[in-house]
Structure 1
Amino acid sequence: MPTVVYQLPDGSASSVDVPAGQTVMDGSVRNNLPGIVAECGGSCSCATCHVYVEGASAEAFDEPSMEEQDLLEYLEGARSCSRLACQLVLGATMDTITVTVAQSNDS
């Protein structure tokens, strides 16, 4: 089972085992972690699950869809490593994935 390490806006980190086939957003919401609001419930329409994913963790996922890219383009605080956690589906062969929860998700 993949482990997701969530670097939270307050500087703390939480590690959560998330079943393959679920998303990075699912792991956060189901464990009541702060920072990922997920207002749309994972339908890629609100961008309140904004995270930063870099290095090997970023390479583990498919490229963002056009829909995701459109949302990220207008998101305050977006960086080249920005992703929406609802679009990051965990695979069975993944080990540990690290994401940094964007500060702007709290507002």
Structure 2
Amino acid sequence: MTTITFIQPDGAAREVVAKPGESGMQAATRAGVEGIIGECGGSCMCATCHVEVAPQDIGRLPPRDDIEQEMLESILTDVPEGSRLCCQIKLVPELDGLVLHVVEIAG
């Protein structure tokens, strides 16, 4: 079992237990985490599941692939090390306790 915590822009925390094989986006949308939309269904084409990985957890994740990097560059001038699309984070037991900060979508 993998439990991850989503931190809302206002600081509220929401723990979600992921199902085996889920992505961060799938777990968040299934649990109704506010701010994670997943408009493209997880195909790395929309950035509506943009999160910032907590600094202590960045090294626990594999690096972004080229497609994820390009999508993040399309929405950000400078891409911080912790910026990720949570549709690209596959939740495995080794990521238990992962903390993801939901990025506020500019309106």
Same fold, judged at TM 0.5 (above): yes
User: Which segment drifts farther, 41-50 or 6-15?
Assistant: 6-15
Q: Which amino acid aligns with 1:53?
A: V
Tell me if the contact between 1:44 and 1:87 (Cα under 8 Å) persists in the aligned partners: yes
Shift of 1:6: 0.2
State which drifts further: 81-90 or 2-11: 2-11
Q: Which residue of 2 aligns with 1:45?
A: 45
User: Counterpart of 2:69?
Assistant: 69
Aligned residues: percent identity?
A: 35
**Aligned partner letter, 1:19:** K
With 75-84 and 57-66 compared, the bigger mean Cα shift is at 75-84
- How far off is 1:57 after superposition? 2.0
SS in 2 for 1:74: helix
Shift of 1:70: 0.2
Gaps of 5+ in 1: none
What amino acid is aligned across from residue 6 of structure 2 in structure 1? Y
Structure 2 stretches lacking a partner, 5+ long: none
Q: Which amino acid aligns with 1:80?
A: E
Q: CA deviation at 1:33?
A: 1.2
Q: Count the aligned residue pairs.
A: 106
SS in 2 for 1:16: strand
Q: Is the 8 A contact 1:6 1:14 kept in 2?
A: yes
Q: 1:36 and 2:26 equivalent?
A: no
Aligned position for 1:4: 4
Q: Calculate the aligned-residue CA RMSD, in Å.
A: 1.7
Aligned residue number for residue 23 of structure 2: 23
CA distance in 1, matches of 2:38, 2:2: 21
Retained in 2: the 8 A contact 1:52–1:83?
yes
